[in-house]
Structure 1
Amino acid sequence: MKALGAMSGTSLDGVDAAVVETDGQSIFGFGESRYRAYSDEERTMLRGALGQWHGAEVEKAGELVTHAHADVLSEFEDVDLIGFHGQTLAHEPRGRGTLQVGDGIGLSQALGLPVVWDFRSDDVAMGGEGAPLAPFFHFACAKWIGADTPICFLNLGGVGNLTYVDPSFDGPEMPGALLAFDTGPANAPVDDLMQARLGKPMDRDGAVARGGTVETGALELFLAEPFFARMPPKSLDRNDFAEMIGLVKELSDADAVATLTGMCAAGVAQGMEHCPKPPARVLVTGGGRHNPVLMEMLRVSLDCPVEPVEAVGLDGDMLEAQAFAYLAVRVARGMPTSCPGTTGVQALVGGGVVSAPMRGAVSSA
């Protein structure tokens, strides 16, 4: 099938959309991709809805997300179905659940194609973390690049997450094939501080961090957080470490950004200790790979090569969108999308809802 996946991540920068040709197991090829940036006004609206579960701001955010996705997805032709993740506003798997806004039914009607959406709810309902969900796709990517020893995929978006892949196994659902979990905050605290102090959406190319020094006292307090002592699988909400900004409030702009960047790298280093075997390499995806200061911190902290996923022919800007294209095919074909090693769910789960056009029918897959 030729599937079109879309992702709007916790960095709130925009919508990524990409095509994958797959049968839900193997990758046969990658198609075109597009990006639709959020405007400053749209980003402000989404930020205002973060952490909320209902109300007018949540409703407006859902309408915005649906409209933005319809904009970019309507530019594609000759696809069989769509994987629509939506926008995560709140994530509390051991509490109120998980909330991704966006209207999959309306999107299906607007585009005239089946839309697979609400990927996380079933996993949470069965005791899982609901995240991360890309690991099954990472397993397929490891097979596609011909990996024959364990490797890690590290996604550095608003939150960091790590997937340990052992490609010697035949399938991602097999015990031992995958271990996945969130490593801690990644770009979100840096972006928030840059916006609050300097009116800029990010530390582009690590320019501000490069001029600063990591404050070790703040770093030690950060690593003392109970999250890092928990065994994986485990996941985070974008705002779970919002107090990090307070740890650096007395520092200069450069030292504060350097320290928050160092916290991201330190969280990854802590997480690597959970890998069953030392990986041959760490392949980095997401916006964080564009930050040379962060990448150098990772190379210093980890005992294996750290490279952007482009080193193996993958697209680090589109990997998550491609993941939801791949997962959409798995859901449509009744295949699992998460397992105990990826989300901590008690049994294999094929989470997701399929909405068909015209009839507007919705059925649990």
Structure 2
Amino acid sequence: MEFLGLDYTTLRVIWWLLLGILLVGWAVMDGFDLGVGTLLPFVARNDEERRLVINTVGPVWEGNQVWLVLGGGAIFAAWPPLYAVSFSGFYLAVFAMLFGLILRPVGFKYRSKMPSQRWRDNWDRVLFVGGLLPGLIAGVAVGNVLLGVPYHFDDSMRIFYTGSFFGLLNPFALVAGLISVAMLVAHGASMLVLKTDGPVAERAARYGSVAAVASFLLFGLAGLWVAFGLPGYQITSQVVTDGPSNPLLKTAELGTVAGGWLRNYSSMPLTALAPIAGLVGALAAAVLLRARRGGLAFLASGASIAGIILTVGFAIFPFFLPSSSQPSASLTVWDASSSHLTLGIMLLATAIFLPIIIAYTTWVYRVLKGKTTVEEMGDNPNAY
């Protein structure tokens, strides 16, 4: 059976790629908003400077979150078992991440409603937490994916998660969380250097270059940890790529030798471009930030973010979410998707609406190009 000439295996791979694109899109587009929020207390020393920082992202942060909605929607519709396991197993972690994301709009909308400096300082703290928390939790979640998560299914496919919130806060996952924070801070600093001048841009360049170097070092450390400390998971039965979406029809196990997650890099050499982009992009962003080349630094930090995320995706393929307590229940690209027909219809909808979103986003950023200035804020009644 085919849908528009695409068989089930091909559609599953296409949706795996699309999910990766959506996650990278969210991290790159909404990531600089989070980074700017995290940098707010450090790069701005008075109310005028804080308003300047906030207004660099004020007109675009809501639109950037479309990528998060698209990513969550893609998981829900294209990979329902993955949605069920991850959103139930990571319930408290997801709640903490959403709490941070909810704080941001409240902070943006209410900060300038009163002239009281205490009022504004408190909302600035809210914006800082709203920038830091989502990036940190997202990185911790990715770290736990590489380690495997304790869950299993019974014979009727009911999900049982046996872990805890604090169990997610293990050393490797925390390193992954710090990588996420560092790369988003560097990305946010690049946007501030691009959109502002004066002391704010100078401080952003300084803090951002440190964050970019930290991203490089932590990503390298995590790579060594994966190579010499994590065995990775592997499918031990015959791989059926066009079979029914039932993870219990296969067998899988945790490897016995460290570096198991690197096997895809030997069989698909081009995937090595992802970690190279992650490392080179971070170093380039650090150098360009020091040179106050905001536009190029933004492209470099964006490439680093994409490389880091794709490194994980390529490493664990075809796994989505390995199970540490019952490896054979691990969710993979081949057994966690919606039906052939559903994937096909969704692909048609994506082919129509994703280009519209990209075109609209491009137009918005074209209209808003240029520096954000104090004078501009004073003349604009819609400024934050």
Give me the TM-score of the superposition, normalised by structure 1: 0.28
Decide which structure has the larger Cα Rg and report it: 2
Between structures 1 and 2, the one with greater helix share: 2
